[in-house]
């Protein structure tokens, strides 16, 4: 019999349940509705009877039975379900009835009510069906009782009707619910069916089968668990196919033998090893097939296998189908069944033919190695003997080298000592040479002031120049030695870059102008002026470059251009370029001229003189200032030397050192200069200060411009006239002007002079031109002079510097006594000469000790102290004087050190000993007087 499916069972159950519920529901409805309808029918009967009793009260009283019967008939017609009405009097005699002649008299007895009851109901079964007889007393029974018969026919009909409808609804509901149940049952059973199919597939051995049910309900969870179970099963179950695959994948040959050594199973590797197919092997006796007629295992092996259960690594030789013998390494193991009795033997065999071959080869190699080893040992022994010999040699060499090293060390120490001695020697020599030079140059200076023949003047000039050249050479040599010894210490002091540039140009302008060269200087507008560094060394570099430019230029001009480039770490790079129109440098010499003692062309240079040290020193100095130097040059056209240094700007420059140009707004100026560069620089300066400028390159153009301006009603307020114009010089132009129209001279006229022979000055005064400026023009001097001439107001005039236009004679004051400590007689003489005709009187001391003694007894305004003296040097003497001052509570007097050494260290030593100032030798007259005046106050 076919099993009933879950779906059918489920459907049958649901439908049966629904039917049972439907029947129960119908019965319940019938009962409730029947009771209710009966109640309603009875109550309606009671109310009809009561109403009839009330209405029929009067006819009762009047005993008008006909009326009562008429009333009863009316009721019978109007009321549904009313079957009959009859009324009886007190004696239970029918007074009115609706039955007509055939009144059922048994009705009189079935429903007799007592007078205390409101009504009585009795069901009667009649031919027409169930009728309820309802008796209601009239006037509490005093008049009689009214009976109504209410038919239950309508109740039956209603119940039948309701039952019919209820049954239909329930049937529909059963059908609907069945359909829904079918749907759910299908959904449920589909998953179950999938599960059943899956289980069946897995049961058939397909362990890779998985059930695809996506829901998360119980069936879904069941499927998931099922899949998990199958997965685990797959992992742990080894199928025959799997086993076969495993065996055939193995690289080792595998054979399974029965206990009597009959081949039962072989793998692919075993077949390939022996050259047989599987079917040729299975069922054969292993010993016979593989080893001829021998047993597969000998006695000893059989015993071992029985005892241990396995044998590992025995060497066997199998015979292949083609007769070839193959050595194998076999491992055997017993295979037992569930009861523990021997089921078979598993044998895994590995082909070791190549191993055997290698073994044979190794054996051969080993023998060869043995031989080689033998010969190597012999060679090593020979080499060891050789090494031992060379080791001996090396040891000797090391000893030699150590000795040489020590000698070298000693030599180095000696060299260092010599170097120190050289430095000291150089310093001393510098002093020793400078001292007589001081005398030579000083004397030459003094001689110049005396009357001499032109010839003597010339000789003296040569003497003076040679002295200066020698001095320069010594200075250069000393500098170079210092730099090379790493002893050149640069100062870091606040300085005014413009001051350095102006003074350098001023000094060199004389030389340039002597050669008829124009020297111009332009400082770019935004160049910071207040810097920190070594102004003297910077001046030395500039002097060397401009000096060279003058030296190597026969005609034309030399220009200095200075500008700044901002660089990092709070430093500013100052770049300068010195350009000339001189002989130029051959390209192959460009790189070497910065080497010491190197000159572009020694034959030519001999003509110009020089030591070849200047550029080398400049390069080293600039490099020490984090800078560099380079040159661009063209033979015959000139050279431009570029230099750069990195300097720190001053944090807060002194306010009165700031230069603020006076405004020249509204001032109309004419600049007359035959040099285009100089013209442009002057014009740039004046325009920057607000002036309206015009330029003229010669006298004629200047005259024309002056005329035109005057005619236009806008004459020039300022005229800057170069004195050395060509063809007509500046003074001549002025004279022309005066002749043509003197009123043209009404503006402010300033002469720009390269040099000023006294004759020219006289001519200028005659023309009424009282102001002249030396070229190259200095920004500050120009601004201040113009402001003074034009009376431009200024906020805070900086202290007026001595310019080329002013030279006042100091008033004579009281004599001032100065103690001079100097061992060289010549120098003392020079000092005496220098201070002749001044208010300074010198008292001399030949060494420090005498100076101290003189200081004790005399009274001096200051001391000039030479540092290098016999018996007691300047440092000791200064210390002694300061000591005396402290002991005697004297006001310290100024002590000015005179030193040939100019290193920072030397100067610091002087200051530490108690000196206030220092002047380096050779001392120049003007410098000496200036220092003394500044120190003592008053004038010379």
Nearest distance, CB of residue 479 and ligand ADP, angstroms: 12
Measured from the CB atom, the residue of 98 and 639 that comes closer to ligand ADP is 639
Tell me the closest approach of the beta carbon of residue 541 to ligand ADP, in angstroms.
10
Q: For 324-338, give one letter per residue: b (16+ CB within 10 A) or e.
A: eebbbbbebbbeeee
Give the nearer residue to ligand ADP in terms of CB position, either 544 or 695: 544
Burial tier of 726 (Cβ tally within 10 Å: 0-12, 13-18, 19+): exposed
- Tell me how far, at minimum, the Cβ of 589 lies from ligand ADP, in Å: 7
Contact criterion met (CB below 8 Å) for 824 and 898: no
Q: Is residue 559 at the binding interface for ligand ADP, with CB under 6 A as the rule?
A: no
Candidates 544, 559, 878, 899; binder of ligand ADP (CB under 6 A) is 544
Listed ranges 140-148, 153-161, 294-302, 544-552: which one lies at the site for ligand ADP (CB under 6 A): 544-552
Query: Which listed residue (98, 265, 548, 838) binds ligand ADP by CB under 6 A?
Result: 548
Binding positions for ligand ADP, 621-680, rule CB under 6 A: 639
Residue whose CB is less far from ligand ADP, 638 or 894 = 638
Question: Which range binds ligand ADP by CB under 6 A, 254-262, 324-332, 547-555, 656-664?
Answer: 547-555
Q: Which is nearer to ligand ADP, 548 or 682 (CB)?
A: 548
- Long-range CB pairs of 59-62 (<8 Å, 24+ gap) are 60/87, 60/89, 60/95, 60/138, 60/139, 60/143, 60/144, 61/143
Least CB distance from residue 547 to ligand ADP, whole Å?
A: 8
- Smallest distance from ligand ADP to CB 587, Å: 12
552 lies in the site for ligand ADP, by CB under 6 A: yes
User: Rounded to an integer, what is the distance from CA 308 to the centroid of its chain?
Assistant: 73
Least distance to ligand ADP, CB of residue 580, Å: 5
Task: Please give the Cα distance from 842 to 826 (Å, whole number).
Answer: 14
Asked if 292 and 339 count as a contact pair (C-beta separation under 8 A), the reply is: no
Cβ 597 vs Cβ 614: under 8 Å: no
Considering the rule CB under 6 A, would residue 508 count as an interface residue with ligand ADP? no
Burial 284-307 (b: 16+ CB within 10 A, else e): ebbbebbeeeeebbeeebbebbee
**What are the residues facing 531 on neighbouring strands?**
495, 649
Beta carbon of residue 891, minimum distance to ligand ADP (angstroms, whole number): 48
Residue (636 or 793) nearer to ligand ADP, CB = 636
Return the beta strands (E) in 635-706 as ranges. 638-649, 668-672, 692-696
C-beta of 540 vs 878, nearer to ligand ADP: 540
Window contacting ligand ADP (CB under 6 A); options: 545-553, 761-769, 794-802, 922-930: 545-553
Query: How is the chain split among helix, strand and coil, in percent rounded to 5?
Result: 50, 20, 30
Angle between helices 925-936 and 353-448 (to 10 degrees): 80
CB 162 within 8 A of CB 97: no
Q: How far is the CB of 704 from ligand ADP (least distance, A)?
A: 38
**Cβ 782 to ligand ADP shortest distance, Å:** 27
Q: Quick one: which segment of 284-292, 542-550, 708-716, 787-795 binds ligand ADP (CB under 6 A)?
A: 542-550
In whole angstroms, what is the distance from residue 542 CA to residue 528 CA? 18
Task: Tell me how far, at minimum, the Cβ of 435 lies from ligand ADP, in Å.
Answer: 24
Q: How far is the CB of 591 from ligand ADP (least distance, A)?
A: 11
When the beta carbons of 616 and 881 are compared against ligand ADP, the nearer one is 616
Measured from the CB atom, the residue of 275 and 612 that comes closer to ligand ADP is 612
Task: Please say which residue, 541 or 842, places its beta carbon nearer to ligand ADP.
Answer: 541
For ligand ADP, give the closer residue by CB, 597 or 857.
597
H helix count then E strand count, the chain: 27, 27
The nearer residue to ligand ADP, 548 or 785, going by C-beta atoms, is: 548
SS3 of 106-136: CHHHHCCCCCCCCCEEEEEEECCEEEEEEEE
600 binds ligand ADP (CB under 6 A): yes
C-alpha closest to that of 490 among 538, 457, 451, 450: 538
Measured from the CB atom, the residue of 271 and 560 that comes closer to ligand ADP is 560
| CB nearer ligand ADP, residue 268 or residue 589 | 589
Residues paired with residue 649 on neighbouring β-strands, in sequence order: 531
Contacts of 895 (CB under 8 A, 6+ apart): 862, 863, 865, 878, 881, 914, 915, 916
Tokens of 765: 């005064």
Which one, 540 or 868, has the nearer CB to ligand ADP? 540
Stretch that binds ligand ADP, among 280-288, 297-305, 407-415, 543-551 (CB under 6 A): 543-551
**Which of 230, 438, 581, 599 is in the footprint of ligand ADP by CB under 6 A?**
599
Distances (CA, A) of 463 to 316, 432, 825, 835: 121, 19, 20, 22
Cα separation, 104 vs 149, whole angstroms: 12
Q: Which of 81/580 has CB closer to ligand ADP?
A: 580
Query: How big is the site for ligand ADP, counted in residues (CB under 6 A)?
Result: 21
Using CB under 6 A, which residues numbered 385 to 404 contact ligand ADP? none
Nearer Cβ to ligand ADP (34/589): 589
Footprint on residues 119-158 left by ligand ADP (CB under 6 A): none
Q: How far is the CB of 473 from ligand ADP (least distance, A)?
A: 9
- Residue 582's alpha-carbon distances to 125, 262, 585, 897, in angstroms, are 165, 119, 9, 42
Specify the residue for token string 């001189």: 582
Q: Is 549 in the site for ligand ADP (CB under 6 A)?
A: yes
Residue indicated by tokens 């006695």: 299
Q: How far is the CB of 497 from ligand ADP (least distance, A)?
A: 22
Cα–Cα distance list, 387 to 384, 390, 392, 659 (Å) = 5, 5, 8, 83
* CA-based radius of gyration for the chain: 72
Instruction: Write down the least CB distance from residue 556 to ligand ADP, Å.
Output: 12
CB of 617 to ligand ADP, least distance (A): 8
Q: Which 603-622 residues touch ligand ADP, going by CB under 6 A? A: 605, 610-616
Q: 768 Cβ partners below 8 Å, 6+ apart?
A: 745
Binding mask 310-349 for ligand ADP (x = CB under 6 A): ----------------------------------------
Neighbours of 403 (CB within 10 A): 10
- Give the shortest CB-626-to-ligand ADP separation in angstroms: 21
Task: Find the shortest distance in angstroms from Cβ 812 to ligand ADP.
Answer: 45
Q: Which of these segments, 235-243, 298-306, 598-606, 728-736, binds ligand ADP (CB under 6 A)? A: 598-606
Let me know if 805 is exposed, middle or buried by CB neighbors in 10 A (0-12, 13-18, 19+). Answer: middle
> Distance between CA 737 and CA 731 in Å, rounded?
10
Verify binding: residue 543, ligand ADP, rule CB under 6 A.
no
Q: With respect to ligand ADP, which residue has the nearer C-beta, 152 or 615?
A: 615
- In the complex with ligand ADP, which residue's Cβ is closer, 629 or 703? 629
Query: What is the closest distance, in whole angstroms, from the C-beta atom of residue 585 to ligand ADP in the complex?
Result: 5
x/- letters, 568..597, toward ligand ADP (CB under 6 A): ------------x-xxxx-------x----
Residue 426, token pair as written in the block:
């150089």
Kindly list the residues in this chain that would bind ligand ADP in the complex (CB under 6 A): 544, 548-549, 552, 580, 582-585, 593, 599-600, 605, 610-616, 639
């Amino acid at each position: 019999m076919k099993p009933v499916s879950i779906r059918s069972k489920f459907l049958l159950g649901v439908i049966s349940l629904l039917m049972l519920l439907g029947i129960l529901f119908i019965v319940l409805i019938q009962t409730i509705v029947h009771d209710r309808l009966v109640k309603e029918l009875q109550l309606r009967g009671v109310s009809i009877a009561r109403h009839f009793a009330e209405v029929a009260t009067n006819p009762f009283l009047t005993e008008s039975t006909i009326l009562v019967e008429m009333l009863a008939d009316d009721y019978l017609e109007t009321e549904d379900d009313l079957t009959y009405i009859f009324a009886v009097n007190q004696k239970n005699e029918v007074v009115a009835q609706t039955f007509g002649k055939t009144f059922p008299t048994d009705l009189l007895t079935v429903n007799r009510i007592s007078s205390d009851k409101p009504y009585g109901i009795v069901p009667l079964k009649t031919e027409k069906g169930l009728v309820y007889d309802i008796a209601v007393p009239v006037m509490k029974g005093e008049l009689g009782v009214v009976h109504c018969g209410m038919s239950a026919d309508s109740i039956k009909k209603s119940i039948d009707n309701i039952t019919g409808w209820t049954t239909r609804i329930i049937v529909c509901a059963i059908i609907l619910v069945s359909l829904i149940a079918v749907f759910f049952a299908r959904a449920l059973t589909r998953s179950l069916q999938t599960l059943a199919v899956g289980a069946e597939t897995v049961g058939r051995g397909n362990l890779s089968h998985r059930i695809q049910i996506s829901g998360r309900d119980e069936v879904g969870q069941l499927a998931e668990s099922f899949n998990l179970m199958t997965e685990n099963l797959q992992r742990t179950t080894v199928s025959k196919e799997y086993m076969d695959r495993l065996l055939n994948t193995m690289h080792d040959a595998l054979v399974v033998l029965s206990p009597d050594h009959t081949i039962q199973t072989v793998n692919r590797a075993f077949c390939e090893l022996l050259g047989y197919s599987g079917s040729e092997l299975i069922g054969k006796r292993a010993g016979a097939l593989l080893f001829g007629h021998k047993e597969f295992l000998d006695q000893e092996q059989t015993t071992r296998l029985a005892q241990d259960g396995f044998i590992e690594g025995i060497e066997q030789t199998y015979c292949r189908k083609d007769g070839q013998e193959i050595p194998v390494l076999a491992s055997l193991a017993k295979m037992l069944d569930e009861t523990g009795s021997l089921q078979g033997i598993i044998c895994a065999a590995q082909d070791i033919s190549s191993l055997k071959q290698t073994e044979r080869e190794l054996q051969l190699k080993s023998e060869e190695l043995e031989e080689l080893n033998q010969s190597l040992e012999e060679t090593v022994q020979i080499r060891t003997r050789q090494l031992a010999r060379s080791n001996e040699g090396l040891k000797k060499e090391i000893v030699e080298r150590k000795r040489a090293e020590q000698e070298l060390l000693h030599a180095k120490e000696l060299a260092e000592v010599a170097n120190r001695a050289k430095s000291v020697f150089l310093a001393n020599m510098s002093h020793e040479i400078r001292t007589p030079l001081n005398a030579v140059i000083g004397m030459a200076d003094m001689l110049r002031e005396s009357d001499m023949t032109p010839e003597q003047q010339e000789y003296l000039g040569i003497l003076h120049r040679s002295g200066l050249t020698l001095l320069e050479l010594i200075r250069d040599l000393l500098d170079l030695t210092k730099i090379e010894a790493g002893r050149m210490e640069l100062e870091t002091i606040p300085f005014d870059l413009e001051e350095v540039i102006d003074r350098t140009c001023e000094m060199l302008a004389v030389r340039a102008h002597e050669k008829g060269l124009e020297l111009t200087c332009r400082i770019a507008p935004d160049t910071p002026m207040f810097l920190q560094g070594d102004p003297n060394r910077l001046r030395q570099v500039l002097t060397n470059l401009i000096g060279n430019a003058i030296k190597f230029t026969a005609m034309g001009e030399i220009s200095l251009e200075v500008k700044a480039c901002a660089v990092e770490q709070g430093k500013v790079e100052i770049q300068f370029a010195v350009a000339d129109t001189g002989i130029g440098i051959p390209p192959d010499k460009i790189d070497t001229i910065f080497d010491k003692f190197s000159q572009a062309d020694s034959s030519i240079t001999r003509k110009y003189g020089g030591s070849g040290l200047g550029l080398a020193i400049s390069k080293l100095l600039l490099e020490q200032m984090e800078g560099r130097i380079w040159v661009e040059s063209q033979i015959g056209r000139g050279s431009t030397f570029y230099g750069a240094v990195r300097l720190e700007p001053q944090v807060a420059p002194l306010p009165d050192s700031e230069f603020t140009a006076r405004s020249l707004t509204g001032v109309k100026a004419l600049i007359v200069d035959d040099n285009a560069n100089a013209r442009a620089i002057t014009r740039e300066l004046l325009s920057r200060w607000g002036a309206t400028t015009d330029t003229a390159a010669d006298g004629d153009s200047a005259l024309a411009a002056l005329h035109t301006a005057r005619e236009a009603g806008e004459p020039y307020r300022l005229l800057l006239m170069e004195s050395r114009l060509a063809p007509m010089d500046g003074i001549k132009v002025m004279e022309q002007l005066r002749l043509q129209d003197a009123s043209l001279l009404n503006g402010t006229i300033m002469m720009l002079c390269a040099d000023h022979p006294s004759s020219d000055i006289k001519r200028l005064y005659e023309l009424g031109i009282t102001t002249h400026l030396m070229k190259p023009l200095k920004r500050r001097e120009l601004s201040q002079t113009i402001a003074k001439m034009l009376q431009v107001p200024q906020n805070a005039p900086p202290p007026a510097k001595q310019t080329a236009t002013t030279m006042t004679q100091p008033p004579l004051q009281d004599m001032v006594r100065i103690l001079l400590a100097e061992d060289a007689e010549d120098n003392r003489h020079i000092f005496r000469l220098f201070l002749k005709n001044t208010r300074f009187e010198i008292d001399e001391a030949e060494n420090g000790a005498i100076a101290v003694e003189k200081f004790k007894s005399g009274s001096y305004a200051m001391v000039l102290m030479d540092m290098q003296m016999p018996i007691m040097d300047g440092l000791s003497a200064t210390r002694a004087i300061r000591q005396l001052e402290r002991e005697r509570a004297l006001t310290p007097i100024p002590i000015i050190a005179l030193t040939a050494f100019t290193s920072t260290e030397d100067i610091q030593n002087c200051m530490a000993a108690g000196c206030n100032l220092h002047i380096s030798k050779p001392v120049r007259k003007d410098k000496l007087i200036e220092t003394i005046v500044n120190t003592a106050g008053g004038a010379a």
